[in-house]
Amino acid sequence: YLPLIYAQLPAENMLITNLQKDQVQRNGDPDFIIRKLKEVVNPRMTLILNNEEPRSRFFEEIARRSIYYGVSRHDESFNKGADYPTQACPKCHHDMSFDYYNVDSIGAFHCDFCGFASKSTPDYEVTDLNFAEKSFKLKNVVFHMPYDLPFMFYNYAGALAVCEEICGIAPAAAAKSFENFKNIGGRFEILTYKNKTIKYMRIKQENPDTLQSALNIMASDSSEKMVALGLYVVNDFVPHYINTFYAFDCDFKPVVESNVERYLCFSEHVSYDTANRLIYDGVAKEAITIMDSDDINEIFAEIDKAGTDNIYLITWISTFEKMKKFIEGGQN
């Protein structure tokens, strides 16, 4: 839609956060989206670009001026084995190499063939991430960290770049708003059910990057847990498709090695595929309950059986809302 929007709002400044795999039937592939954006991005523009996302960085050669934001390596940065797919360099189309990931497909990168790489020091960089004190720095200003999820660090860096570059609000002034910032209806919500805590990871289920981020958060919790995965058929419009191939872009091993008592794979059509994905990474079949429906009563019956009170949940928002109503005593 950007070409249509730009015809009515010929913006001189544009922030590009990421161009990653997303809904196949809506977005095609990232290279298709790059071609659409190239119809709009022009030498009159100033671009604010994610330094650690290669396809976003690609647009630097078109813009009049480019400003870069990013996040330094931190305690939750990770690596993936060579058996997981990387991505083609957007400039020369050879394989990219990532030194590490801060979010799946986002991190310090370089191309050995043409030299395209992330800047070692972007203009606006979140550094000194302290998870214990929930703080970080940008341009030597200390910020309170309202949410310590890795993708949020890029939101902070991008927002602070816009504040200073477009609005003239310096980091020291912007830091005040971080003291009481609240993200309404966020990606991480908690339900209390009997003596159990259900940690809901809200993701679109339509790209591997959000799924990997959720898996990384689960894996960072070393305490005993139950993992309930409700991956579904994507049926927002024709053609419908089953999105199991996204799970094969993701690394489940850290979750498998993070002290999981039991797994629940539920939802019609996709539950067996989800279980197979876990088995391929070493989960014993006996540790998996497969439920080819999303019946709320059955889901809670399985949660009741868990010895642990620490439950991680991925499912559609509609199923989550039904679960909330079940707990609150409403209609299930």
Q: Which residues contact 330 (CB under 8 A, 6 or more apart)?
A: none
Distance CA 321, CA 174 (A): 35
User: Taking the alpha carbons of 37, 43, 47, 52 in that order, is the dihedral positive or negative?
Assistant: positive
Q: How many CB atoms lie within 10 A of CB 1?
A: 6
CATH number of 2-179: 3.40.1190
Distance CA 39, CA 150 (A): 32
- The pLDDT tens digits for 110-146 are 999 999 999 999 999 999 999 999 999 999 999 999 8
Please state the domain extents for the chain.
2-179, 188-328
Sorting pLDDT into bands at 50, 70 and 90, what band is 331? very low
Give the range among 27-36, 148-157, 252-261, 265-274 with minimum mean pLDDT: 27-36
Q: Is the pLDDT of residue 241 over 80?
A: no
Fold topology of 188-328: Protein-Tyrosine Phosphatase; Chain A (3.90.190)
Q: Is the pLDDT of residue 332 over 60?
A: no
| Partners of 290 in the β-ladder | 265
SS3 12: coil
- The pLDDT tens digits for 14-30 are 999 998 877 777 777 88
